[in-house]
Amino acid sequence: MKIAVIDYGMGNLHSVSKALEAAGADVVVATQPSDLQTTAGIVLPGVGSFAEGMRQLHGRGWVDVLTNKVVIDHMPFLGICLGMQLAATTGDEHGPTQGLGWIPGVVQRLDVDGKAFKVPHMGWNDIELSRPSDLFTGIRGALTFYFVHSYHFVPSDSSVISAVCDHGQRFAAAIEKDNIHLVQFHPEKSQTLGLKILEKFLAKTYAEK
């Protein structure tokens, strides 16, 4: 069974696909909803603005099929960076925009001291686990990942946050609810630890098939 990487015009598809393959996945870049018929799990990468991301998902016919697969059929899902944020109810970037609404919450701009902390938050940073998580189980030592973002997901229910990061303010670095796994950092840019995160996602995905 393949892992689908969604092509909606917003993602760094090549690097995400290659990282998944290095982690052991059989990857298909899904360019249309029918490509999901024979997949075991879904990965939604993304760089860019929330509003444009949702515009592309709607315009390419992804919203309903993704919601059916993830929310109704409970297919394992991994959202990366913008792909994490789009799972929220709304995003503030370029004005309020309705998101996928899978996990209640809002995506807001980082509110930090601009002299001490740059926005976008770009580079390596440590995260801290806030509860047990399928993606981080058994991983030892410092958890340092690569970030590139100006906005962050604030869930209505903080119990879904599995890891936090501090860049002038604490924000959700990872969110986990049932089959939905969301990370603000880029595992495909995070070297060995990033591959471990992808391996954990794949292990859970294939275990459910």
Distance CA 60, CA 73 (A): 21
Residue 181 known to be catalytic: no
Measure the N-to-C terminal CA separation of the chain; round to a whole number of Å. Answer: 9
- For the chain, list the strands marked E by DSSP: 2-6, 27-30, 39-44, 77-80, 90-91, 97-98, 105-109, 121-129, 144-149, 151-155, 161-166, 170-177, 180-183
Q: Which of 167, 176, 186, 199 is catalytic?
A: 186
Distance CA 58, CA 63 (A): 6
Residue 165 known to be catalytic: no
Q: Which of 14, 81, 149, 152 is catalytic?
A: 81
Residue 128 known to be catalytic: no
Distance CA 195, CA 37 (A): 26
Q: Which of 128, 188, 199, 208 is catalytic?
A: 188
Phi then psi for 113, rounded to 5 degrees? Answer: -70, 110
Distance CA 80, CA 87 (A): 10
- Active-site residues, by number, are 81, 186, 188
